[in-house]
């Protein structure tokens, strides 16, 4: 792949993983449209990357106005070859403690808005001979995990959406990919979520490494990629013998409840 030919929109480019994707793609020569909600963070990233071809767009993905702003920015710079749907929020906490605002926030941000933005930008991508649509899911898009019901609902949905689209767009020139990291050291895992990972001894990857794996996936044009061992193994076992994973996770439940028995996080 010639990265110098790529014009790439990264949603959530100001976040832990998004920023690392931006750094690595910029270093390879891609032209970037950096998306986020925070002007200060976006300007700092643009300054750091120091490339006149890059630009940024401030928009709340959950609003039609925000998605239209992104669409017009893409049009202004003359199109797009790659869309990386990376923005997302956590829904950590026991389901019974959540309220409808939190349900809507997680599902709307992680799933509905991502689908809506893709719907708007797919015709722009398809104008290119070769284009790329990369959806950042999660291991929790394949394993239902206690204390992650809302997040799992959103990421299972995203995985199904991506798989359908991969098959639907086969041979069209638009390459569709699903990327599933495991726990990664970013602010999405702040507070009790991070404490739970420590208590369970869950491996946590660096966002820099995770972004590098995403870049490799795109270069190899792998339709699906799940990170981490034993997570990759559990994803496969869960698909074939879910009762084995039921037992393993139910054993963790007392520890999970100790950290997740509060209202679903509003902050992230």
Catalytic machinery residues: 151
Determine the size of the site formed for ligand NAP (CB under 6 A).
28
Regarding 111 and contact with ligand NAP (CB under 6 A), the answer is: no
Among 7, 25, 82, 87, binds ligand NAP (CB under 6 A): 87
- CA distance between the termini of the chain: 35
Among 4, 5, 27, 38, binds ligand NAP (CB under 6 A): 38
Regarding 226 and contact with ligand NAP (CB under 6 A), the answer is: no
Q: Quick count: other Cβ atoms within 10 Å of Cβ 140?
A: 23
* Cα–Cα dist 130/113, whole Å: 24
Place of tokens 């792998």: 222
Compare residues 12 and 93 and give the one whose CB is closer to ligand NAP.
12
Among 14, 175, 217, 265, binds ligand NAP (CB under 6 A): 14
Q: Quick count: other Cβ atoms within 10 Å of Cβ 6?
A: 21
Regarding 15 and contact with ligand NAP (CB under 6 A), the answer is: yes
Please list every residue from 189 through 208 that binds ligand NAP, using CB under 6 A. 189
34, 55 contact by CB (below 8 A): yes
Among 28, 126, 232, 268, binds ligand NAP (CB under 6 A): 268
Among 91, 93, 157, 181, binds ligand NAP (CB under 6 A): 181
Regarding 157 and contact with ligand NAP (CB under 6 A), the answer is: no
* Cα–Cα dist 164/108, whole Å: 19
Regarding 17 and contact with ligand NAP (CB under 6 A), the answer is: yes
Q: Which stretch binds ligand NAP (CB under 6 A): 1-9, 46-54, 60-68, 246-254?
A: 60-68
> In angstroms, what is the minimal distance from the CB of 137 to ligand NAP?
7
Compare residues 130 and 252 and give the one whose CB is closer to ligand NAP.
252
φ, ψ (nearest 5 deg) of residue 187 = -70, -10
Closest residue (Cβ) to ligand NAP?
15
Among 60, 163, 208, 213, binds ligand NAP (CB under 6 A): 60
| CA atoms within 13 A of residue 218's CA, in its CB half-sphere | 27
Output the 3-class SS for 116-176. HHHHHHHHHHHCCCCEEEEEECCHHHCCCCCCCHHHHHHHHHHHHHHHHHHHHCCCCCEEE
Compare residues 44 and 253 and give the one whose CB is closer to ligand NAP.
44
DSSP category for residue 111: I
> In angstroms, what is the minimal distance from the CB of 89 to ligand NAP?
5
* Angle 230-234-239 from CA coordinates, rounded to 5°: 160
Binding-residue pattern over the window 39 to 58 for ligand NAP, x denoting contact by CB under 6 A: --x-----------------
Q: What is the DSSP string of 36-67?
A: ES-HHHHHHHHHHH--TT-EEEE--TTSHHHH
Residues that bind ligand NAP (CB under 6 A): 12, 14-18, 36-38, 41, 60-62, 86-89, 109, 136, 138, 181, 183-184, 186-189, 268
């Amino acid at each position: 792949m010639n990265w110098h030919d790529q014009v790439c929109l990264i949603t959530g480019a100001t976040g832990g993983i998004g920023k690392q994707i931006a750094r690595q793609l910029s270093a390879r020569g891609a032209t970037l449209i950096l998306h986020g909600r925070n002007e200060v963070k976006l300007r700092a990233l643009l300054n750091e990357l120091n490339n006149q071809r890059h630009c940024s767009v401030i928009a709340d993905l959950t609003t039609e106005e925000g998605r239209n702003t992104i669409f017009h920015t893409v049009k202004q710079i003359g199109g797009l070859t790659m869309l990386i749907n990376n923005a997302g929020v956590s829904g950590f906490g026991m389901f019974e403690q959540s309220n409808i605002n939190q349900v809507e926030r997680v599902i709307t941000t992680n799933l509905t808005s991502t689908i809506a933005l893709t719907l708007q930008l797919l015709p722009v991508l398809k104008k290119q001979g070769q284009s790329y649509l990369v959806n950042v899911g999660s291991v929790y898009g394949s394993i239902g995990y206690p204390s992650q019901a809302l997040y799992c609902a959103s990421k299972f949905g995203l995985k199904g959406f991506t798989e359908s689209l991969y098959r639907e767009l086969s041979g069209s020139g638009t390459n569709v990919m699903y990327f599933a990291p495991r726990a990664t050291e970013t602010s999405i895992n702040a507070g009790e979520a991070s404490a739970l990972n420590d208590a369970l001894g869950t491996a946590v990857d660096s966002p820099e490494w995770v972004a590098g794996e995403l870049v490799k996936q795109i270069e190899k044009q792998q339709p699906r990629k799940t990170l981490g061992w034993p997570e990759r193994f559990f994803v496969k076992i869960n698909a074939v013998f879910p009762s084995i994973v039921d037992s393993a996770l139910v054993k963790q439940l007392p520890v999970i409840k100790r950290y997740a028995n509060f209202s679903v996080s509003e902050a992230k």
